């Protein structure tokens, strides 16, 4: 009797865990802000994110990728590993890897990134600083005093 009870208990737990974990893991691959969403404030994500709606404030996706969809209107300062812009961004973009502005993308503001790629038709109004990453690396290296 104890044996059949434990068998019955184990089977639902195993199947329920498999059923619940698979869709949850699939949803967590990329966080999404839909195009009907207006978000005001500080948006912080610990996973890759795609934004198709409107965001006003700040966006922080430090060690992950951020995609600004073609319908997105962003009025925010952005910090991410990589940013791909297909929509409209007004604000400062700071990345540790790269910024990609696609054909439909536009950025009005300053960009600080080691790499910048712009497609034909992309719009950029602002200043680009691609040396901040290498300058940061140089600062972290010890200085060697000249020998006298």
Asked if residue 4 is part of any domain, the answer here is no
Could you read off the pLDDT of 70-81 as tens digits, one per residue? Answer: 999 999 999 999
Taking only the tens place, the pLDDT of each residue in 29-71 is 688 899 999 999 999 999 999 999 999 999 999 999 999 999 9
Would residue 143 count as lying in a domain? no
Task: Give 4-24 pLDDT, tens digit per residue.
Answer: 444 444 444 433 344 444 454
Q: Domains in the chain: how many in total? A: 1
Burial class from Cβ neighbours inside 10 Å (0-12, 13-18, 19+) for residue 61 reads: buried
Domain containing 56 equals 51-138
12 within a domain of the structure (yes/no): no
Q: Residue 19 falls within a domain, yes or no?
A: no
Q: How far apart are CA 30 and CA 21, in angstroms?
A: 15
- Say if 31 falls within a structural domain: no
Output the CA torsion 32→51→110→62 (10° steps): 0
Q: pTM of this prediction? A: 0.70
């Amino acid at each position: 009797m104890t044996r059949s009870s434990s068998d019955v208990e184990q089977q639902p737990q195993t199947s329920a865990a498999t059923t619940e974990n698979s869709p949850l893991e699939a949803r967590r691959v990329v966080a999404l802000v839909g195009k009907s969403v207006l978000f005001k404030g500080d948006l912080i994500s610990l996973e890759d994110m795609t934004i198709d709606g409107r965001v006003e404030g700040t966006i922080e996706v430090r060690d992950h990728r951020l995609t600004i969809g073609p319908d997105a209107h962003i009025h925010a300062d952005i910090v991410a590993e990589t940013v791909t812009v297909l929509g409209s961004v007004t604000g400062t973009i700071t990345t540790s890897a790269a910024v990609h502005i696609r054909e439909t993308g536009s950025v009005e503001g300053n960009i600080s990134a080691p790499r910048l790629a712009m497609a034909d038709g992309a719009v950029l109004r602002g200043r680009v600083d691609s040396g901040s990453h290498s300058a940061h690396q140089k600062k972290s290296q010890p200085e060697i005093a000249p020998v006298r």
